[in-house]
Structure 1
């Protein structure tokens, strides 16, 4: 049998042709037909991460958006994102989202089609407690996207995903991948495959996409400008929105990586390779997807 490095060499390059031959579900019906997204995150000091992820999910095609952040920031976020329903969550004295989540969040989790957890969270232990309750309230077939501190919580408590279907996507950066692996990452293609097998999830790692069944892809359009504050929240949101509109998890990860990277390419002529902002990436997402 080929070893992991040899398998990683079989990555398919994500091209416009590949994506056109793997089309997203065509929109039809009202907003309910494109699913309900719930994004849980945002400490007192980082509600913007939830804004970026949530709006990116809408730009990618989600039908309904619900955001859950600390109570002290919920009103401001509801004004900043009038398209979303926003609920407040208990917070610790330090401003982190508390793991002692209220029933209204569990009710939203039970009704959501996709739940994204992590953007803007900043306490691993509180995040782990939150994840236990939220994932227990959600249907086992509900899709889950984990990013940022949710990945740190998963690294410490791998059983958090126990009993879930394989509709899970993890979007680690290199540091977060190291936490999940328990060591410094080596070849990222091979490491994405390792994580996919270990967590029975689709992995999107720095342009390398891996599915639990061994299939893998590589996105080659990304440039240095994507390494900017909030960019990972945008990627997680794009992937979440694509799943909400009906894409399979592997398809959403591939389309999401491409849309994220090409949105950066579209901004570079105006702002240079490193001058654009994550919020500007969000504004390019819908056009980039439609352009395919």
Structure 2
């Protein structure tokens, strides 16, 4: 079966919300990124920059207290929220109370970059999913999405406004199957999980698939092996999160994010080399790619 491709024709048929002249930074969209840990503070920087490069007007980064001030100095464009941590330097479950007000003020929540899968993470994710809002889009990445594997009802309660971005290993965990089964039928697996969770699923890989709860699915063939590098997924999460904050519908934001990330990888493979470029070099290419579509 030939699947619809995410390409320039698809993007032109599914444009992003217009950015009006005179729009202030709040009108361009507000994103909150929750993640990081004492031993991987930089993941949040990659995601936060990508949010702004995708056109959102404001970003707040929430991470463990011991590295929050360093994050704030490194990224002066972002406001920073300090969160309690557990003994291992991960965000503690009781951080959910501190996050309630910032979430109420944002248009998109990106949850998971740089976080590890622990019991505390599962409790935190469950608490943050407990209050659906019609005007809030959420992206679950990395440990946050695998932590939600037993909470399909909570994810479905958000009415299709949650995006989940697993790579094949995370998809195997999410679906409780062997990774070989994911590789054998990536499109079918993505559709089944989209229906189970009532969410948008982006199954990342050499070829990526964007599946909706309706059973509709899109295929992206671009990117390249150079994108298989540390931090690349954090950038992808930020691009999609920024587009969600701007008001793009979840399928549209996910498909555009997938294409922008892949095209940035292609450009770097041509200018630097097939492999060896860094995740932090992807985001600066996004504004030009957005302009060129």
**Length-normalised TM-score, structure 2:** 0.93
1:187 corresponds, among 177, 185, 188, to 185
Check conservation: 2:132, 2:158, Cα contact below 8 A: no
Q: CA deviation at 1:18?
A: 1.5
Looking at structure 1, the residues matched to 40 and 233 of structure 2 have their Cα atoms a distance apart, in angstroms, of 14
Looking at structure 1, the residues matched to 96 and 188 of structure 2 have their Cα atoms a distance apart, in angstroms, of 40
Q: CA deviation at 1:174?
A: 0.6
- 1:289 paired to 2:290: yes
Q: Decide whether aligned partners of structure 1 residues 75 and 138 sit closer, same or farther in structure 2, where only a CA change above 3 A counts.
A: farther
Match of 2:112 in 1: 118
Match of 1:15 in 2: 7
Match of 2:161 in 1: 167
Q: Decide whether aligned partners of structure 1 residues 272 and 229 sit closer, same or farther in structure 2, where only a CA change above 3 A counts.
A: same
Unpaired segments of 5 or more residues in structure 1?
1-8
Looking at structure 2, the residues matched to 154 and 134 of structure 1 have their Cα atoms a distance apart, in angstroms, of 11
**Length-normalised TM-score, structure 1:** 0.93
Q: CA deviation at 1:46?
A: 1.1
Q: Decide whether aligned partners of structure 1 residues 162 and 217 sit closer, same or farther in structure 2, where only a CA change above 3 A counts.
A: closer
Looking at structure 2, the residues matched to 121 and 14 of structure 1 have their Cα atoms a distance apart, in angstroms, of 29
Q: CA deviation at 1:137?
A: 5.1
Superposed, 1:1-292 pairs within 5 Å as: 9-28=1-20, 29-101=23-95, 103-136=97-130, 139-184=133-178, 185=182, 186-206=184-204, 207-292=208-293
Q: CA deviation at 1:190?
A: 1.1
Unpaired segments of 5 or more residues in structure 2?
none
Q: Give CA deviations for 1:4-56 in whole Å, capped at 9, x if unaligned.
A: xxxxx342011112211211111121111121101100011112111111110
| Superposition misfits of 4+ residues, deviation over 3 angstroms | 156-160
Q: Give CA deviations for 1:168-219 in whole Å, capped at 9, x if unaligned.
A: 1001001000011100213111111111111101111121111111211111
Looking at structure 2, the residues matched to 212 and 193 of structure 1 have their Cα atoms a distance apart, in angstroms, of 7
Looking at structure 1, the residues matched to 134 and 78 of structure 2 have their Cα atoms a distance apart, in angstroms, of 24
How many residues are treated as equivalent by the alignment?
284
Q: Give CA deviations for 1:210-262 in whole Å, capped at 9, x if unaligned.
A: 11112111111111111000101111111111111111100111111100000
